[in-house]
Amino acid sequence: MKKTLKIFLIIIILLIVSYIIYLYVSNKSKYKFEEGDIRLKHNMTNSKSLYEALQNRSSSRDFSNKELTDETIANLLWSANGINREDGRRTAPSAMNQQEIDLYVILPSGGYLYVPEENLLKRINPTNMTDKTGYNAPMSILYVADTYKQNLNWAYVDSGFIGQNIYLFCAINDLVSVFKGTFDKEYFTKALQLPDNKEIIFMQDIGYKKEQ
């Protein structure tokens, strides 16, 4: 009888401990919100048509130094590669749904990782690096491929879809943009502390058009 009671108590304790671990793991987010991070709240209300977006799409390299608001940044990133379905799939397709492209965002307030699952811009480096991106845009996005998840050929293709999402978003939100393959990758690899399996493959500059 005593032995049965002991086993029963052990099972109850194990069940309670498992439940506590489950609650901890399910509530724990990967990134803790810290000073300098930016919470993103996207709220898309644009009524312009896809035709207007396609009609206006173009590359531009003349940026004014006017900064984008947090809401515009949130809407732009959601359009670029945000989550649009409950299963975590994105506004841009990815080969085999590997979602191997991380977007890093360069703003005057620093360099950030876009974390779509948590609607968060996680600050990695507080330095203003906008003067290192090429055309001094107030916002640049780095396309960083995880080569453990996917090979580079697919990563190049997947980046193109994200890039076009951004071009179309800009075309109907009074913004201009340019997608780039040439820039100082070494500088940003160091500045964003990227490990060997994270390769910067493209950059896209975004901002308001400089008044002539």
Ligand X SMILES: Cc1cc2nc3c(=O)[nH]c(=O)nc-3n(C[C@H](O)[C@H](O)[C@H](O)COP(=O)(O)O)c2cc1C
Tell me if 180 contacts ligand X by CB under 6 A.
Answer: yes
DSSP lists the bridge partners of residue 125 as: 111
Ranges within 181-200 binding ligand X (CB under 6 A): 181-182
- Report helix angle 70-81 to 152-171, nearest 10: 140
Query: With respect to ligand X, which residue has the nearer C-beta, 114 or 179?
Result: 179
175, 178, 194, 200: which one contacts ligand X (CB under 6 A)? 178
Tell me if 61 contacts ligand X by CB under 6 A.
Answer: yes
Tell me if 53 contacts ligand X by CB under 6 A.
Answer: no
Tell me if 58 contacts ligand X by CB under 6 A.
Answer: yes
Tell me if 59 contacts ligand X by CB under 6 A.
Answer: yes
Closest approach, Cβ 159 to ligand X, in A, equals 8
Compute how many residues bind ligand X; rule: CB under 6 A: 8
Closest approach, Cβ 115 to ligand X, in A, equals 26
Task: Quote the CA–CA distance of 58 and 104 in Å, as a whole number.
Answer: 22
Instruction: Return the sign of the alpha-carbon dihedral for residues 58, 59, 63, 69.
Output: positive
Closest approach, Cβ 62 to ligand X, in A, equals 11
Tell me if 27 contacts ligand X by CB under 6 A.
Answer: no
Pick the stretch among 69-77, 125-133, 178-186, 191-199 that binds ligand X (CB under 6 A).
Answer: 178-186
Q: Which residues bind ligand X (CB under 6 A)?
A: 58-59, 61, 178-182
